[in-house]
Every structure is written in C-alpha cells, then in structure tokens.
Amino acid sequence: EAGVAQSPRYKIIEKRQSVAFWCNPISGHATLYWYQQILGQGPKLLIQFQNNGVVDDSQLPKDRFSAERLKGVDSTLKIQPAKLEDSAVYLCASSFGQKLREGWGELFFGEGSRLTVL
Amino acid sequence: TQLLEQSPQFLSIQEGENLTVYCNSSSVFSSLQWYRQEPGEGPVLLVTVVTGGEVKKLKRLTFQFGDARKDSSLHITAAQPGDTGLYLCAGARSSGSARQLTFGSGTQLTVLP
C-alpha cells in the first residue's frame, strides 16, 4: 500500500516569495492534516480536512497561509508571502476517519517538505 | 503554548540502560498516542492508550496512561541504538464530532553504543 506522498522534499526561497506544497494521502483516507514542525519541536496542526471540508484551521495564519482539498483527495498548502519564521518542515498526514464512532485512528505521515526561508 | 509538555527534552544514554519519558498536561484527553520520528521522516505511531490507568507493552517499551487521563509515560528497558529518535506524545480531544490531536514538545533520545 502506497504511503502519504509529499512534494517537494526541499525548498529554499527568499522572504516575501511564495511557495506551494502538495500532498496525496493514502487511498480511502477521508481525513487529511497539515502540520508545521519547527526544528526541535513537536508538530503543530495548521489545518484539518474531512473529505473536502475544513474541520479545524484555528492555528492557520490566514493572512499568508492557505490550503485546499478541492476533490477530497490530494491537497495543496500555500504560503504567500513567506517570512523567515516559516522555515520548518511541513508534514502532511492522513487517517481513515476522525469521528468518534470511527475510533481514534492512526495518523500516517508523509516524509515532509523542508522549507528554508532566507 | 504547548498543551502537552514532555520531559526531558533531551536524553543521551548508554546502550543497555533504562529510561522513562514523561508527557504531562492540565487537560483531560480521551486518548493518547505515542509516536517515534527519525530524521528526515514523518512520525510513526507506536501505541494508543484510551483508558485511565491503562498499561500497554510493546517489546521493551511500556506505556502508561494516567488515571486522570492527563499524563502518560513511556519506559524503555535495556535501550538499544535503534531506539534513537524523537518521541512524541499526542493527546486527542473531541470537539463536536471531530477529533483534535495535539502533539507534545518531544523528547530527543540518543542511545550510544
């Protein structure tokens, strides 16, 4: 079974430029998550989708970050304009479900996209 | 602000030693997961604990969920270099019919041969 695919693996940009990350979750997984992981810290949830709807985007800096999952499958995360403090690894994860009746499912993570903002 | 605090933040030990990692919060969680992350990879689930006081064993790893479901510990017996990695706890809470999963700050473990 194919895992969560992310691209690009690495991206270096200058501040004020824009960048986009792509994620393809495991087939059949309804829930998709984008996490930001700064070096030495735990992942911080940016946005959570259930199919193509947003479940939680309370920690997404909406003035510069946007994300979409138009067809309920793959997703893109965009940063525009980037700031120095956006340097981090952006992790995409998926799970089969997220509702109480579906249990507390395992999150499957991709390898991440490492962003360096100069 | 991290809802889940892990300690210690860094731990370096010799092969064969035992260790315990702690995950603490002032919030109650419906379940708690432990993940391990290696450099350049995403976190991988080790275990999920659901019931207060629950203890689960995975070979040399023992996981415990606090009675009040606010804290958890991970104990490794006879650590090996292959145990090296970033250990993350993640607490789950429900918001309506949705689940919110919050990760802790992480414990970086290095096991020296």
CB contact under 8 A, B2 and A42: yes
Calculate what percentage of chain A has a pLDDT beyond 70: 92
Return the residue of B nearest to A109 by Cα.
Answer: B42
Distance CA A12, CA A16 (A): 12
Whether the pLDDT of residue A98 is over 70: the answer is no
The single-letter code of the amino acid at B54 is: E
SS (H, E, C) B9-41: CEEEEECCCCEEEEEECCCCCCEEEEEEECCCC
> Do residues B68 and B27 lie in contact, with contact meaning Cβ atoms separated by under 8 Å?
no
pLDDT in tens, B80-102: 999 999 999 999 887 666 678 89
pLDDT number for residue A100: 44
Cis amide linkage into residue A61, ω under 30° from 0: no
pLDDT number for residue A68: 95
pLDDT number for residue B84: 96
| CB nearest A42 (choices: B33, B98, B105) | B105
> By the CB < 8 Å criterion, does B108 face chain A?
yes
CB contact under 8 A, B103 and A4: no
Provide CB contacts within 8 A for B58, sequence distance 6+.
B46, B47
CB contact under 8 A, B97 and A99: yes
Closest by Cα among A25, A6, A1 to A115: A6
Closest by Cα among A25, A22, A44, A26 to A35: A44
Considering only residues A78 and A28, tell me which one the structure prediction assigns the higher pLDDT.
A78
| CB nearest B43 (choices: A48, A56, A109) | A109
The dihedrals phi and psi of A84, each to the nearest 5 degrees, come to: -55, -40
DSSP line for B36-59: EE-TTS--EEEEEE-STT-EEEET
B residues 60..79 contacting A (CB < 8 A): none
B chain contacts of residue A8, beta-carbon cutoff 8 Å: none
Count chain A–chain B contacts defined by CB atoms under 8 A.
69
Return the residue of B nearest to A5 by Cα.
Answer: B42
pLDDT in tens, B15-58: 999 999 999 999 999 889 999 999 999 999 999 998 899 999 99
Decide the pairing of beta strands B10-14 and B107-112: parallel
Distance CA A2, CA A86 (A): 29
CB contact under 8 A, B94 and A100: yes
| CB nearest A42 (choices: B48, B88, B100) | B88
Closest by Cα among A2, A1, A5 to A111: A5
> By the CB < 8 Å criterion, does B97 face chain A?
yes
Strand partners of residue A5: A24
> By the CB < 8 Å criterion, does A98 face chain B?
yes
Chain A: closest CA distance from residue B107 (Å): 9
**What average pLDDT does this structure show over A27-44?**
92
Confidence of residue A42 (pLDDT cuts 50, 70, 90): very high
